[in-house]
Chains A and B, each alone.
Chain A
Amino acid sequence: MEVLIDTQTCSNPLNCYLCLERCPEKVFGTQPRTPRQPGALAQDWVIFPVFASQCTGCLECIEFCPRRAITVLPQSNYRKLRALLSLIREILFGKKTAWSWK
């Protein structure tokens, strides 16, 4: 399944995180919108799907989201291809990923 989150609608998840709590498959994760700077508290967070392939389509998240920011769709080849291209780009041009910090 493919989980899309409208980060404009879900603008301040800091005091909500209902989707993170309610998802039975723990699909969601949260990260700062911009990289953390020294000396500043990360205040602008966004929700994003981490393990989208685990999604069973139970639609619990849509039911509980107070702002209706989540959409669940079957996985499209377009998204798959974009992820693939971005992974290839990381290898070719040495962009940082989780498994190559520096």
Chain B
Amino acid sequence: MCEFCIQHGEGKKWYLTMRNYSRELWEQCNRAEYMEDFGAQFEVRCGTAVAKLDAVKSIPVVYRFFRRMAMHKNKTLHWGQIVPIEDVEQILEMQDSIVRMPCVCRRLTTGRETRYCFGVGMDIMGMFGKYPDYSHGLEVLEKEEAVGLVRSFDKQGLVHSIWTFRTPYIGAVCNCDQDCMAYGIQFKTNLTQIMFRAEYVATVDWNKCNGCKKCLLNCQFGAIGYSNTMKRPTIDMNRCYGCGVCRSVCDKEAIALLDRAQFATLPW
């Protein structure tokens, strides 16, 4: 159970609580306006702020202060969590509208339009329809289509994550890899924390495993190592984000996800 599960979860995982996707919640706190501004000005706002934070990285005490402040702001405004495929399927089952849209992160980091993100539970057409950059890439999906797409992304090794727009409202399911800004900010450069790890952590069953090393290639977070003496891979639990993507390439089904909460010292 992460911090948000206790605050917004009603005893369950917070992203499986219907209330966090409800129309009622969306109408509070000016969320529609916030989301429109978020999407339309993402490159300018996010890019500039990250570049500034990156520039002060070498000033010791000052950087710690801004890092903490950014984390606190992110938690109230736009926070994410890694979610394995089973939970994404459950999330998509709960929605009444799913829209596939262009990924804002990849527009920033690669300059290309790639449609890896899903807007859930709200009518994004009404908001992003005003911006031609986004409107021609929007596509309304059926639940089955969306689930099929997420499964194919899982096979390609993309990590699924959910994103809040003014916590606790969840508005987007993203499929990230190393081009993603969140990956860059939190994992690659460790500028600040912007998302939680999943509620799970992966372990490998050495009896089922045949040591084919396929999972090593699919881990986005560099958590899987290989012991040449034992001819088996090991998963570093401290590095594992619990995305479960390594399972999709395992022919022997040797990798399983355990509950992260049962290991008291693992980071979120």
User: Are these two chains actual partners, yes or no?
Assistant: yes
Are B43 and A32 closer than 8 Å at their CB atoms? yes
Say whether B37 contacts A87, CB under 8 Å: no
Which residues of B have CB within 8 Å of A40? 132
CB contacts (< 8 Å) of A99 on chain B: these are 49, 69-70, 73-74, 77-78
**Residues from chain B with Cβ under 8 Å of A83 in the complex:** 51-52, 55-56
CB distance from A47 to the nearest CB of B (A): 8
Distance to closest chain A CB from B132 (angstroms): 5
Quick one: given A26-B179, A80-B59, are A86 and B52 in contact (CB under 8 Å)? yes
A9: CB under 8 A from chain B? no
- With CB as the reference atom, state the residue of chain A lying closest to B39: A36
A13 and B55 contact, Cβ closer than 8 Å, known pairs A35-B41, A54-B189, A84-B62: no
Q: Are A101 and B44 in contact (CB under 8 A)?
A: no
User: A interface, by DSSP: helix, strand, loop or mixed?
Assistant: mixed
A101 to B70, CA, bound (A): 12
Whether A13 contacts B30 by the Cβ 8 Å rule is no
B130 pairs with A38, CB closer than 8 A: yes
Q: Does A31 count as interface, using CB distance less than 8 angstroms? A: yes
| Interface size grouping (class) on chain A | 35 or more
What is the number of contacts between chain A and chain B, taking CB atoms within 8 Å?
Answer: 127
Question: A75–B57 Cα gap in the complex (Å)?
Answer: 11
- How many interface residues does chain B have, given as a range? 35 or more
Q: Output the least CB separation between B21 and chain A (Å).
A: 21
CB–CB A84/B111 < 8 A: no
CB of A57 closer than 8 Å to a CB of B:
no
Those of A8-67 within 8 Å (CB) of chain B? 13-14, 17, 20-21, 26, 28-32, 35-36, 38-42, 45, 48-54
Q: List 8 A-B contacts (CB under 8 A).
A: A20-B109, A29-B109, A35-B40, A36-B133, A39-B132, A84-B62, A98-B48, A102-B30
Given contacts A53-B54, A98-B48, 5 further A-B contacts (CB under 8 A): A26-B188, A48-B47, A84-B56, A91-B69, A98-B46
Please name the 10 residue pairs, one residue from A and one from B, whose CB atoms are nearest each other, closest first.
Answer: A98-B49, A83-B55, A99-B73, A31-B43, A38-B130, A17-B111, A98-B46, A97-B49, A83-B52, A41-B132
